[in-house]
Structure 1
Amino acid sequence: MDFEAWWLIFLPLLFALGWMAARFDIKQMLSETRNLPDSYFRGLNFLLNEEPDRAIDAFVEVAKLDPETTELHFALGSLFRRRGEMERAIRVHQSLLFREDLPIAQRDHAQHELAQDYLKAGMLDRAEEAFSVLKDTSFALPALRALIRIYESEHDWARAITAVQTLRKLVDEPVPQLVHYHCEQAQAHLAEKPPNIEQARAALALAERAVDQAQMSGPTPAFVRVSMLNAGIAASLQDLKQQQYFLESVLNQAPEFAGLIAAELFDNYIAQGQAAKGLQRLQEHYQQHPSLDLFNVVFRGLRAQQGVEQAWTFARQALQLHPSLLGLDRLLEAELAQKPGAEQGATQSPIPGADLTLLRRLINRHTQRLDRYICSACGFQARSYYWQCPGCNAWETYKPRRLEELE
């Protein structure tokens, strides 16, 4: 390709234009820097020196001097909220909403921040109202998720269900806790005096539909809970066969959850006059899927139905295969419960020369921390099994096994 000399004329011109542009940018930057108040630079200096309290005070002074610094207001509000200074965070975001010249996008942003302030401060009624305003804005999705959390905390399951249905119209994603919302409604109807069986059945039908829509596979906690509630309805109607059917379905399809329904299932067999068959069923299940709660039910059942020797034979074999301090503590507790007044002195036992009261006291001191379920999300420990963690409000985060079994 031939080179034409006249192109060289443009080189000095381009260089001059670049030099002028750079000079203009530098002058503009210096001009803007001179316009910034000294408090701004003091705040930056405090941040660099890891003095957040003094930095916040400096930035507050900047915000007072220059009300146009909306981004600084947002930053301050977020800082106050993270530090737990909710009153100051609310005041910052309210001051933005009071400005008539604030653009719509920033007004929606301020409304969302204010709603989060109310939520963290525990002012649920105000938070609900603030989030509801955002339903037709760019913050509609996070606002709807926050409203669902609020309805959960208020146990307003009907509104939580409606909110989830709205959420699914916005995003195509499964919401597994929807099953539990329907289950909560069914459980509330069963707790009424007398139980409202028809409403409970209707709620469980919706729960089963939610399970199918979520395409849950395998023995999920949602399936277990629905089966247990169906068994509860059958028990209210004194339909022992139907109750047995639903409880057996848990053993067959979700065997690791057997400890949650073992006592109820054994009582069902006793009511049908089939205690021996029930014990055999649970013992066979224990051999395949051992757990502490199931061990406890089987040992107590053998102790009551077949006597001390059979119960302790089972216990020895079980503890040899699956050593457990908590298991030993459970069987000592059951043995002592069979003897009124045992706590007052030494108790006769299948172990020659053993004082079961003293032995149980020593073991129990070491098993208190092990006799708990634990949330896999936040680590919250509880003596009872929860479908929703009381610590972090997450659903289905508890395994149906005690802490000792997980270690």
Structure 2
Amino acid sequence: MDFEPWLLILVPVLFGLGWVAARVDIRQMLKETRNLPQSYFRGLNFLLNEQPDHAIDAFVEVAKLDSETTELHFALGSLFRRRGEMERAIRVHQSLLARADLPAAEREHALHELAQDYLKAGLLDRAEESFRQLDNSRYALPALRALIRIYETAHDWPRAIEAVRTLQGLVEEPVPQLVHYYCEQAQMALAGGKPDLEAASRALDAAEHAVASQKQAMRTPVSQVRIAMLRGRLAAVEQDFRSERQHLMGILKDAPEYAGLVAERILENYRISGEEVQALAVLQAHYEEHPSLDLFNIVFRELRAQQGGDIAWAYARKALEQHPSLLGLDRLLEVELAGTDQSGALVRGADLTLLRNLIHKHTQRLDRYVCHNCGFQARRYYWQCPGCNEWETYEPRRLEELS
């Protein structure tokens, strides 16, 4: 290849241009650094020295001195929200929205941050209004999910259902809690002195349709158990006890671990037709195959009522030998003491009282259902955890049975 003499000129020229550019960048950086308020450097120094409270105060001063620092405003607002200082977070984001020169993208960002501030502060009306203003923005999906949470919190099930339908129209995203929204509607329709049977039936039809529309992998026995329980309750209100029995017995067959939630109602259903002996036999047989503490309590109590204390105690002794449980012993002592009358043996009653008190002191912490998502413990069974608001996070077993 022939050597080109002009290359001897080009190389020094390019080197010189690079040197000039570097000098210009350095001067520009130094100029921008000199323009930064002293509070900015104080804030950095506080952060390096692990003094976050002083750093925040310094950065707040920077934000006041330079209104153009939008990223700093966003960072401060988010930090205030995480620290629970909701008033300060709201003021920061409101001050951004008050700027007439704020670009559209940053205005949407500020509105989304402000809506989250309102939500965490419990100002649901303002949060809803702010999230609704983001319908046609890049934050439309997270805003819609937040609206669903708001409607859940307010128990506004029709609007929650509407929001879920809108979400499903935008993305192919499963929302399994939709089934429970319809169940909540049915439960509300059946409550009170004048239940609305038609509304309850429509809601349960919709719940079953929601289950059917889910993919097989997304279907859970929890929602189907709840639908069956509500179908049974609706049938009982209509005095269709045969249909009620079919729904309840279907739960024993399809979701046997939930027997403790429906055993009382099964006994009552059989009792109406004078078949309580058969009901007890059914529950005893179920306990042999699928033992649980709640079912044990119901079987023991009914066995004592039907066949007397001696037979009930013999059954309890055998059951506790096979499945040792302090909670089980505590419950049967409670039933025994409740059945002791004045003609009973006072010394034996006093001994049982002392024994029960000692056991009960140690079993109170075990007599709970527990959320496997957040660990929230509750005496009653919940379809939605009161702690984290997630659905279907409780197993139908007490804490002692899970350990």
TM over 0.5: yes
Aligned residue for 2:366?
370
1:240 positional shift: 1.4
Tell me the amino acid that sits aligned with residue 136 of structure 2: D
Which sections of structure 1, spanning at least 5 residues, go unmatched?
A: 349-353
Q: Equivalent residue of 2:225, what SS?
A: helix
Aligned residue for 1:197?
197
1:401 positional shift: 0.4
1:305 positional shift: 1.1
Q: Aligned partners of 1:337, 1:43: CA distance in 2, in Å?
A: 67
1:177-217 deviation per Cα after TM superposition (whole angstroms, max 9, x unaligned): 11111000000000032211111000000011111112255
**Pair 395,341 (structure 1): closer, same or farther in 2 beyond 3 Å:** farther
1:304 pairs with 2:305: yes
Q: Aligned partners of 1:17, 1:344: CA distance in 2, in Å?
A: 107
Q: Aligned partners of 1:3, 1:185: CA distance in 2, in Å?
A: 87
1:151 pairs with 2:151: yes
Aligned residue for 2:70?
70
Instruction: Map 1:265-276; keep pairs closer than 5 Å.
Output: 265-276=266-277
Aligned residue for 2:385?
389
Aligned residue for 1:379?
375
**Pair 3,208 (structure 1): closer, same or farther in 2 beyond 3 Å:** farther
Q: Equivalent residue of 1:25, what SS?
A: helix
Q: Aligned partners of 1:360, 1:385: CA distance in 2, in Å?
A: 24
1:16 positional shift: 2.4
Q: Aligned partners of 1:287, 1:231: CA distance in 2, in Å?
A: 25
Tell me the amino acid that sits aligned with residue 186 of structure 2: A
Aligned residue for 2:223?
222
Q: Aligned partners of 1:342, 1:57: CA distance in 2, in Å?
A: 75
Aligned residue for 1:359?
355
Aligned residues: 401
1:343-398 deviation per Cα after TM superposition (whole angstroms, max 9, x unaligned): 995445xxxxx822111111111100000001111111100000011111111111
Q: Aligned partners of 2:241, 2:140: CA distance in 1, in Å?
A: 48
TM-score, normalising length from structure 2? 0.96
1:98 pairs with 2:94: no
Q: Aligned partners of 1:66, 1:403: CA distance in 2, in Å?
A: 56
Aligned residue for 1:351?
none
Aligned residue for 2:48?
48
Q: Is the 8 A contact 1:219 1:253 kept in 2?
A: no
Instruction: Map 1:3-18; keep pairs closer than 5 Å.
Output: 4-6=3-5, 7=7, 9-18=9-18
Q: Aligned partners of 1:157, 1:395: CA distance in 2, in Å?
A: 14
1:18-65 deviation per Cα after TM superposition (whole angstroms, max 9, x unaligned): 222222222211111111111101111111111111111111111111
Q: Is the 8 A contact 1:46 1:54 kept in 2?
A: yes
* RMSD between superposed Cα atoms in Å: 1.8
Q: Aligned partners of 1:137, 1:344: CA distance in 2, in Å?
A: 76
Determine what percentage of the aligned residue pairs are the same residue: 65
Deviates more, 1:235-244 or 1:3-12: 3-12
Tell me the amino acid that sits aligned with residue 355 of structure 1: D
1:5 positional shift: 5.0
Q: Aligned partners of 2:39, 2:226: CA distance in 1, in Å?
A: 59
1:259 positional shift: 0.9
Aligned residue for 1:236?
237
TM-score, normalising length from structure 1? 0.95
Which sections of structure 2, spanning at least 5 residues, go unmatched?
A: none
Q: Aligned partners of 2:344, 2:259: CA distance in 1, in Å?
A: 31
1:342 positional shift: 9.5
1:230-259 deviation per Cα after TM superposition (whole angstroms, max 9, x unaligned): 010011111111111111111111111111
